[in-house]
Chain A
Amino acid sequence: MSDPTTAGPGAAHPASQGPSSTAAVAKTEDNGGARAAGAAGSQRELSAAGKARLQELLRRYPTREAALIPALHVAQREWGGWLPDDAVAAVARELELPAARVYGVVTFYDLLHQHQVGRHRIRVCTNLPCMLRGSDEIMAAVREELGVGENEVTLDGRCSYVHFECLGSCDTAPMMMIDDTYHENLTPERTRRILRELD
């Protein structure tokens, strides 16, 4: 059996809101408990703080739609680092956009995740400047230390990792980003230590 924590991405996206979304929720439940966080059938909303932040964001733009990417960042933080269907639905409702429009945006951007990620998200830069300073060995250290493949989540739900395109820190190569923090001038040894010290 495949690793149960690597989520079941097979669920169809609800093309519209309303009655059909209930079916979509039921369908995601079949794909593993991880995707059905929150009470089944009920629509999870952004938190009060999240909604307040969204109102503040909306004042910055002449259209509601322009707040979509900032709103998805807010939702992703609230949903534990990724955007399950109910997070997408919540954002779509707040911004009065069809869910399909929101999915279109989510699938386009590397920092928005449709599938489950670890509590710590590790991005190892492997683009040319880092490659020229040993990022292959950093990537190997991460893989060995975590014991899972790219885009998979460790069994304890703690970490997931990906190779990433240039993170704009080439003067401190090789480097990786964990959640919002840059870790620079890495060696394989330091990389392992940093990973072990994550909570």
Chain B
Amino acid sequence: MSDNQQGEVRIDSEVDIVTVRKAVREIAQQIGFGATDITRIVTSASELARNVFNYAGVGAMHWNRLKQNGSIGIELIFIDNGPGIPDIEQALTPGYSTMKSLGMGLSGAKRLMGEMEIESAPGKVTKVKIRKWIGRY
């Protein structure tokens, strides 16, 4: 995937959460993020990949290298055909979870990344998009 501008990682099983982490770490390193940002990005990706697996069973992560007005960054889009998020605002409340989990994944990933967009409705494709730029906070 070395010089690609975009790619996809399938999420078919629980082990793919680790596959996603490894792919994201490699891409973020190539883009040139610092060590702390890499940890933030990989940890966010781990939370969102787990959501795909837990709620939908299968899905995918698309990644894009970003270039805009001289800034470079990374975009990760988590896509699944699961039940969808009925109330996005509620889902982003720290501690809220419909599963036996801490409920910190979605809100935490938003905080770590800075930019997050969620497209979801019951019965429709769920897309969670996160972005981070080098040197922008």
A binds B: no
